[in-house]
Structure 1
Amino acid sequence: MNIFKENESPEELGEFGLIDRIMGMFEPKNDHDFTGLGDDCAVIRNASGRSLLITTDIMLEEGHFRREWISAEDLGYKSLAANLSDISAMGGSPHYALLSIGLPPDTSPDWLNDFFSGANQLCESHGVNLIGGNTTKSGSIIINYTALGFINDENILWRSAAKLGDKIGLIGKVGESGAGLRLLQEAYDKEKPNHKHLIKAHNRPTLLINEAKFLADTGSVHAMIDLSDGIQSDAGHITKQSGVTFSINADRLPLSKQLFEVCDKYSWSAEEIALTAGEDYSLLFTFDSKKEDFLKRRFRELFPETVFSVIGDVKEGDAEVLFFKGNEKLELHKQGFDQFKSK
């Protein structure tokens, strides 16, 4: 069975087109105990009513990070955080992790101590156990985590479960990680206070695991995704899976003072960065519009330090994401992150 056409490359397909082709070949062999292709995690069901969540992610030196841009401790933290965030995006609790890591043979003991210290800090914060993995010699650093967690079946937040009439919610800030990456790429003064704040947002993202569990437990949230590739790309996964259109108002985005100040200084668009850049690991979700007041009030009581925003509506349409500023449609010059197409 040939799933790729002649002369068709990953660059032409893009990351998500490539995934779609692969998924088309590997259909579930037993749909009674496995679901989740195309979601944040694979879901292994059992008779107990509590499912196992499994996710994996890889980070490559020079492709996803540079050692001169990020400390070993922050890299140890962030590389695991990307996986735990996927567990939280389904509404679940992370419990276990496995690490396969490729290392140059001359990697210093100080770097290794710091890397595993950063990972251990995150494990201790969320009760996660590192239970195995693999090591190998490599010309550059390769980090591949697999994370496992659990969730009650009735609380699973599928990308395919958004409903017409839902409101679109967002917890956490957006754009700070993207601005931090741009500051690193364009070699600005990393010691300036605003620069340091945004670079920290990129290198050591805040996870919202407890907040996500609260949302799942309410029964009022229908679909959710973590913002690893940016609102434009990640919201598109929900609209595609759910067969709905998102109408998002850029004026409602939770953008920080530091983001605006840096964007004003360098003539960047804060809104475009917030909508297209990734790795904030904030959570985008849809919820019952009748529950808006309850959700906002209870959330702020439990998590006063985390921003809860309502940024749009779920509408009937052609599975697309539309952005508005006031009453005017907002056209973006950049696109959300794609591993094979993004430069």
Structure 2
Amino acid sequence: MVRLTDIGEKAFLSSLLPQLAVDPSFVNGFGHDASIIDVGLAQNLAVKIDRAPYPVALRHGLGTYNTWGRLAVVANVSDLLAVGALPKAMMLSMVLPREFSAVDARAIVEGCAEACIDHGIAFLGGDTKEGSSAQIVGAAWGIVEKQRRLGRAKAGLGDALFVAGSLGGFAAALTLMRKQQGHGAGNDRFTQVLTLPTARIKEGELLRKDEAIVAACDLSDGLAEAIDIFCGVDIGITLNEARLPLHALVAEAASVTGAPGWRFALAAGDWAVAFVVNKSQVSSFQAAIENKFDVHQLGSFDDSGSKRIRDSNGVLHPIPHFINEQFKSRIEDEGIYLELLLGKALD
């Protein structure tokens, strides 16, 4: 018997999805951050469903159960943004044991409703059922212009890689919190990163409207995975550590652990969006967005077939292949993923 833990989520899906029928109205097909369907109206409908991971902050005594509801919104909204959709509405499904605290259950719903307000979308209620373990699942809808949709396409030679948002904040905050457990774990420096995730709504305007952008990917599973997605056969990229928009906590986490800051930038947990800009429009794109959006160019795709990063000392390193993956190694489980991220044991 082949178990899911033997193959992981991504191999399971890559073997299954090509065998499934794609309805003609399913305009972008399987394998993208969100699904787009033509329902016969002036605009297409984008749909996403995603489980919200149990907040690691709660495991360490930070924040409240509001964060779990908020995560359900952010996880779904971020994926809608990555396909060029304008998020419009959200529903929440809660499966909870009968012993689960009613106060905490209420906080999950309130966190979801508050996050919907923060992200400018409608909260439409949902469903609550009994189960053996607590699971929180969100579903969200948005609209997409028929002539404008994005997906996980391959980059072309000379195209540029951009990111909306900062990198490494979640992994840095989690690492510092673990290191300081028992003496200052509730430090306010960690609170916003770990308990108040936010999707890149403002930058979503670019993804919806700017035709220079030809592909996009949500970074909830990390920049390392996005680079794998964008690089086809014989296409590579070299990043420069100096150009990475590192979160303010990364320098401290790097100092405490001895791991280079660029490794944190590749990690999961940051609600940023990576996207590809056509090589012929990079200059005009940069001029148009200057100082208006939290957007940064990381490098250009080349024909080396190698994925590398040049550190602050000018030394080239292969981009390590650690992926946030269900049934294998998840950042929400902390241990193994973080050890792979840092290139060594945490303790």
- Paired AA for residue 280 in structure 1: D
Q: Does 1:56 align with 2:82?
A: no
So what's the TM-score if we normalise by structure 1? 0.84
Select 2:144's aligned residue among 140, 151, 154. 151
Q: Which amino acid aligns with 2:199?
A: L
Which residue of 1 is the match for residue 222 of structure 2? 230
Corresponding letter in the other structure for 2:2: E
User: 1:65 Cα deviation (Å)?
Assistant: 6.7
Q: Is the 8 A contact 1:181 1:199 kept in 2?
A: no
Unaligned runs of 5+ in 1: 1-6
**Aligned with 1:106 (options 96, 99, 110):** 99
Distance 1:137 1:237 in 2: 38
Alignment of 1:129-208 (within 5 A): 129-160=122-153, 162-186=155-179, 188=181, 191=184, 196-208=188-200
- What SS is found at the alignment partner of 2:163? strand
CA contact (8 A) 1:249 1:324 kept: yes
Any unmatched runs of 5+ in structure 2? 330-335, 337-347
In percent, how many aligned pairs have the same letter?
22
Aligned partner of residue 130 in structure 1, secondary structure: strand
Check the 8 A contact 1:98/1:133 in 2, yes or no: yes
TM-score by length of 2: 0.84
Letter in 2 for 1:314: F
Question: Using the alignment, how far apart are the partners of 1:20 and 1:157 within structure 2?
Answer: 20
* Pairing 1:12–2:2 present: no
Does 2:318 match 1:325? no
In 2: Cα distance, 1:297 partner to 1:120 partner: 37
CA contact (8 A) 1:162 1:314 kept: yes
Query: Whole-Å Cα distance in 2 between the matches of residues 45 and 175 of structure 1?
Result: 37
Name which of 295, 301, 304 aligns with 1:314. 301
Quick one: structure 1 residues 175 and 46, their matched pair in 2 at CA, closer, same or farther if it must change by over 3 Å?
same
**1:3 matched residue in structure 2:** none
2: distance between equivalents of 1:63 and 1:339?
16
Q: Secondary structure at the match of 1:134?
A: strand
Contact 1:183 1:199 in 2 (8 A): no
Residue aligning to 1:267: 258
Which residue of 2 is the match for residue 298 of structure 1? 288
Counterpart for residue 270 of structure 2: 280
Pick closer, same or farther for the CA change 1:87–1:202 going to 2, 3 Å.
same
Change in 2 beyond 3 A, CA 1:91/1:139: same
1:335 partnered with 2:325: no
Separation in 2, partners of 1:188, 1:297: 45
Cα distance change on mapping 1:55 and 1:295 into 2, 3 Å:
same
Distance 1:142 1:186 in 2: 28
**Residues 155 and 252 (structure 1 numbering): CA distance in 2 closer, same or farther, change over 3 Å?**
same
1:77-114 deviations in Å (ceiling 9; x for gaps): 12221111000111211112222111222333432333
Tell me if structure 2 keeps the 8 A contact 1:176–1:198.
no
Aligned letter for 1:152?
Answer: E
Out of 20, 24, 31, the residue aligned to residue 18 of structure 2 is 24
How many residue pairs get aligned? The number is 329
**Structure 1 position 27, deviation (Å):** 2.9
Q: Which amino acid aligns with 1:263?
A: A
Mark the CA change 1:206 to 1:229 in structure 2 (over 3 Å): closer, same or farther: same
The CA deviation at 1:283 is: 1.1
Partner Cα separation in structure 2 for residue 114 and residue 312 of structure 1: 42
Distance 1:190 1:157, change over 3 A: farther
